[in-house]
């Protein structure tokens, strides 16, 4: 089975080819246009997808050394995501599938982030827990099988990726700020500034309080010293990153105990964070977990993960009709 997968849920246009469960190409075109606006501008994202989609698909087919006539199905991200962005990928996938007279496979973007773990070895054993941390989501997912997943805890307000990006914005760092916080944190002291955390019930998270606390902290410090940020950038980034990671891992540990599961994975854009990667390994050693961390190219948005999810759906004969439309708030 040879499947072409398309990802266009936010600001990365991506295409991948999977042949009998093996990802053979994964091309990502990121959209630099948003940097100057300090965040993703939905209308600009849709236009950029429109420009990128044909070359990205052509490159994915080329790299996999196939032509469109070798394809058995077309997969696409149906949601969640930005409507205008999703429409570009969905319409392209539908048109190509219709032209080639082959079936369509609709994929849930967050399930695909989790299934990125099945692209390379080592693969987690079922059931496992996946901390799914990205620009729009922060969830602990109980993964029974490739297509049976349940969210057992999630943020009640902001996603942790947003907390990284908003922290960066307040520090005058360009969008997306998460990777820059990561970079500066490497040189800093994580214990220098203690930031307050809120205890949430059960396995849920909250990141809006810490964002506000951080804003007040910066206002207070810069009033006393206008050069506070420049002089302390590394320590500020390290302290904030350490606090966010501590919040994430505390609940993950609780979930592991509650569900008696020691197979633990992370996924989504924030799983590229080097501090989180190190700390989850450490916790895994202390708690006797088997920890699974995706390769960098499969952390942030990519069509490789959509292709992997599509492979599992195709195995079960789960195709969708040509009447399908995108779902910006698609449920699990």
Provide the annotated binding site for substrate: 132-136, 165, 178, 182, 273
Residue 190 contacts which entry, ligand ATP, Fe ion, none (Cβ below 5-8 A, type-dependent): none
Which residue intervals of the chain are DSSP H helices? 42-63, 83-100, 109-115, 160-170, 178-185, 208-224, 228-259, 274-287, 303-315
Per CB under 6 A, which region of 52-60, 135-143, 205-213, 303-311 contacts ligand ATP?
135-143
Q: What does 284 bind: Fe ion, ligand ATP, none (CB cut-off 5 to 8 Å by kind)?
A: none
* Binding positions for Fe cation: 109, 113, 301
The closest of 231, 125, 241 to 182, measured between CA atoms, is 241
Query: How many CB atoms neighbour CB 237 within 10 A?
Result: 27
Which residue has 């042949």 as its token pair? 19
79, 84, 89, 136: which one binds ligand ATP (CB under 6 A) = 136
Which option in ligand ATP, Fe ion, none does residue 124 bind, with CB closer than 5 to 8 A by kind? none
Among 135, 188, 284, 294, binds ligand ATP (CB under 6 A): 135
Rounded distance between C-alpha atoms, residue 133 and residue 147, angstroms: 19
Residue 319 in tokens: 């195709």
Q: Which of 176, 284, 304, 326 binds ligand ATP (CB under 6 A)?
A: 176
Q: Which stretch binds ligand ATP (CB under 6 A): 71-79, 87-95, 157-165, 287-295?
A: 157-165
Contact call for residue 117 and ligand ATP (CB under 6 A): no
Q: Distances in Å between the alpha carbon of 265 and those of 78, 127, 252, 253, 272?
A: 24, 11, 10, 12, 13
Interface mask toward ligand ATP for 196-235; x: CB under 6 A: ----------------------------------------
Say how far residue 62 (Cα) sits from the centre of its chain.
26
Q: Which residues of 29-61 are buried (b: 16+ CB within 10 A; e: fewer)?
A: bbbeebeeebebbeebbbbbbbebbeebbeebb
207: tokens are 């990141």
Pick what 79 binds: ligand ATP, Fe ion, none; C-beta below 5 to 8 Å, kind-dependent.
none
Binding residues for Fe ion (CB under 5 A): 134, 301
Nearer to Fe ion (CB atom), residue 11 or residue 301: 301
Q: Which is nearer to Fe ion, 134 or 273 (CB)?
A: 134
Q: Are 115 and 308 in contact (CB under 8 A)?
A: yes
Residues 228-287 within binding reach of ligand ATP (CB under 6 A): 268-270, 272-273
| 153 near ligand ATP, rule: CB under 6 A | no
Pick what 164 binds: Fe ion, ligand ATP, none; C-beta below 5 to 8 Å, kind-dependent.
ligand ATP
Which ranges in 137-177 belong to alpha helices (H)?
A: 160-170
- Closer residue to Fe ion in complex, CB, 8/167: 8
CA 300, CA 208: separation in Å to the nearest integer? 22
Closest CA to 332 of 149, 127, 83: 149
**What is the closest distance, in whole angstroms, from the C-beta atom of residue 74 to ligand ATP in the complex?**
21
The dihedrals phi and psi of 139, each to the nearest 5 degrees, come to -140, 150
Among residues 13, 31, 111, 134, the one that binds ligand ATP under rule CB under 6 A: 134
The answer to whether residue 178 forms part of the interface with ligand ATP (CB under 6 A) is yes
Q: Which residues bind ligand ATP (CB under 6 A)?
A: 9-10, 80-81, 109, 113, 134-137, 161, 164-165, 176, 178-179, 182, 268-270, 272-273, 300-301
């Amino acid at each position: 089975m040879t499947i072409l997968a398309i990802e266009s849920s936010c600001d990365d246009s991506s295409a991948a080819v999977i042949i009998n469960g093996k990802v053979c190409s994964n091309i990502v075109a990121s959209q630099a246009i948003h940097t100057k606006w300090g965040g993703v501008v939905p209308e600009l994202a849709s236009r950029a997808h429109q420009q990128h989609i044909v070359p990205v698909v052509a490159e994915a087919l080329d790299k996999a050394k196939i032509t469109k006539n070798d394809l058995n199905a077309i997969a696409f991200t149906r949601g969640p995501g930005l409507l205008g962005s999703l429409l570009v990928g969905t319409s392209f996938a539908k048109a190509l599938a219709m032209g080639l007279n082959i079936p369509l496979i609709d994929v849930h973007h967050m399930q695909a982030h989790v299934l990125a773990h099945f692209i390379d070895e080592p693969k987690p054993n079922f059931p496992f827990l996946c901390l799914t941390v990205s620009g729009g989501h922060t969830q602990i997912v109980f993964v029974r099988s490739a297509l049976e997943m349940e969210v057992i805890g999630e943020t009640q307000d902001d996603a942790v990726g947003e907390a990284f990006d908003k922290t960066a914005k307040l520090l005058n760092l360009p969008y997306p700020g998460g990777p820059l916080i990561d970079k500066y944190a490497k040189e800093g002291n994580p214990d220098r500034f203690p930031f307050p955390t809120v205890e949430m019930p059960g396995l849920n998270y909250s990141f809006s309080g810490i964002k506000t606390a951080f804003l007040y902290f910066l206002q207070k410090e810069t009033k006393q010293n206008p050069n506070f940020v420049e002089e302390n950038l590394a320590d500020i980034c390290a302290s904030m990153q350490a606090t966010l990671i501590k919040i994430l891992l505390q609940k993950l540990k609780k979930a592991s105990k509650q569900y008696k599961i020691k197979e633990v994975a992370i996924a989504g854009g924030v799983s590229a964070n080097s501090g989180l990667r190190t700390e989850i390994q450490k916790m895994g050693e202390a708690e006797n977990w088997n920890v699974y961390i995706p390769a960098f190219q499969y952390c942030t948005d990519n069509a490789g993960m959509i292709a992997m999810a599509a492979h599992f759906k195709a195995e079960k004969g789960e195709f969708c009709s040509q009447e399908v439309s995108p779902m910006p708030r698609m449920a699990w």
